[in-house]
Amino acid sequence: MTAPSAAPVTDLHAALKPNQRLTTAQEVKLQLARDFPPGALGWVDNITWQPSPVRVPVDRIDRTTGDTDWNAAASDKAKIAAFATRIRTGIRKPIVLIRHPDSKLLFAVDGHTRVLASAAIGEPVTAWVGTSKTADGGWRTVHRRKTN
């Protein structure tokens, strides 16, 4: 019989086991991983995140910049209505927002339709809010890599 190896065992699911809390960055990545390829999310680790999702008034969100066409998103009335119904019933998947030095408004990384739906019904969004030390980063262009 051979002796047990002294090398550590890598457990890819260790962070998901009971009694092990994910960091906020891990939670944000886990949520975004459903819609973005793994190589698109490295920037998440360079952001300082609030520890849990918070409610943010939609007028605090920049709806003019980024690699998302806000006008095109606003024209999909059926999708906005569907999200508004979900939000009214309490289903509030957090959007992802970034605070950065060049703007008083928050930059929407993901959740554009939820922002528009919340605005349509006069509700604040639920959001992961991170702070970037720089005015630019991978978070600014990640939306174009969305897989769905």
Q: Are the beta carbons of 53 and 94 closer than 8 angstroms?
A: yes
- % the chain with pLDDT above 90: 59
- % the chain with pLDDT above 70: 82
Q: 24 pLDDT exceeds 90?
A: yes
What the block records as the tokens of 16 is 């998901």
- Taken as a whole, the chain contains a residue count of 148
Higher-confidence residue of 68 and 132: namely 132
N-term to C-term CA, the chain: 50
Torsion of CA 126, 142, 148, 55, to 10 degrees: 0
Q: Mean per-residue pLDDT for 6-12?
A: 50
pLDDT at 17: 60
pLDDT at 9: 47
Q: Whole-prediction pTM value?
A: 0.82
Name the pLDDT band for 5 (thresholds 50, 70, 90). very low
